[in-house]
């Protein structure tokens, strides 16, 4: 009788052990709960990039060339050909690029602003921009730092290419939102000799002072961008 009871107890223990093992294996093999899968899924992006396109008729790159001694020099503008500007949801500039149509270089200080004007023709020849060989200029924005406490002021770094020569430039800029538009303005000075424009430059030996043209050229930007539809 005791043998039968002992055998029954052993059988009961083995059955329980087998059942416990099966439940453990089932628990390990079972798929993870939905909650765990949801927690591991990637979070949605914080915001999308909003792209703005340059409004060509209302955008200008203004320049001013001066003599080293005496004279008022000349001033005018160059029209952009195309351009874009990108912002994220936080108002951070994510990128920018525009092309200049060097054939549009124009004087604004003389009545005759046609392409037949002697000054305009000279600016287009190899002494200056060599427009037939290099009809396009470009600017690629590489960094934009917002001024502390000012949502409209930025310090811009980018690559300016003229005459197939690329140089880094830096300048402050103001970008103001006007509905679906952004108006960007900036003033900077570039050294024309860095782009191979050395006509009557102080870097050329043998020229008398009153023949020299300033190497440093003031440039101002007035650019309007319109928000693209997503």
- Each residue's pLDDT tens digit, 111-138: 655 555 688 999 999 999 999 999 999 9
Give the helix ranges, DSSP H, for the chain: 2-29, 34-40, 118-124
- Cβ-contact 74, 49 below 8 angstroms: no
- The pTM (predicted TM-score) of the whole model is 0.75
Q: Tell me what pLDDT residue 71 has.
A: 64
Query: Is the alpha carbon torsion for 69, 70, 71, 77 positive or negative?
Result: positive
User: Strand, coil or helix: what is 111?
Assistant: coil
- Cβ-contact 186, 171 below 8 angstroms: yes
pLDDT digits (tens, 9 = 90+) for 47-79: 588 999 999 999 999 999 988 876 678 999 999
What are the extents of the domains in the chain?
Answer: 2-40, 50-227
Rg of the chain over all Cα atoms, to the nearest angstrom = 34
In CATH, the architecture of 50-227 is: Beta Barrel (2.40)
Over residues 10-15, mean pLDDT: 40
């Amino acid at each position: 009788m005791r043998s039968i009871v002992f055998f029954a107890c052993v059988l009961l223990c083995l059955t329980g052990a087998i059942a416990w093992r099966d439940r453990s294996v089932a628990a390990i093999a079972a798929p993870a709960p939905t909650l765990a899968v949801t927690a591991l899924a990637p979070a949605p992006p914080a915001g999308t990039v909003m792209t703005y396109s340059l409004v060509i008729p209302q955008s200008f790159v203004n320049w001013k060339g001066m003599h080293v001694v005496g004279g008022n020099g000349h001033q005018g503008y160059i029209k952009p050909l195309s351009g874009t500007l990108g912002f994220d949801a936080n108002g951070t500039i994510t990128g920018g690029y525009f092309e200049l149509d060097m054939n549009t270089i124009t004087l604004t200080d003389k009545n005759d602003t046609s392409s037949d004007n002697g000054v305009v023709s000279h600016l287009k020849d190899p002494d200056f921009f060599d427009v037939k060989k290099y009809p396009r200029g470009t600017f690629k924005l590489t960094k934009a730092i917002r001024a502390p406490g000012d949502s409209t002021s930025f310090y811009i770094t980018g690559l300016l290419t003229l005459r197939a020569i690329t140089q880094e430039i830096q300048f402050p800029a103001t970008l103001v939102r006007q509905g679906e538009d952004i108006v960007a303005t900036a003033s900077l000075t570039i050294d024309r000799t860095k782009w191979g424009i050395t006509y009557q430059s102080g870097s050329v030996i043998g020229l008398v002072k009153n023949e020299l043209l300033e190497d440093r050229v003031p440039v101002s930007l007035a650019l309007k961008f319109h928000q693209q539809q997503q």
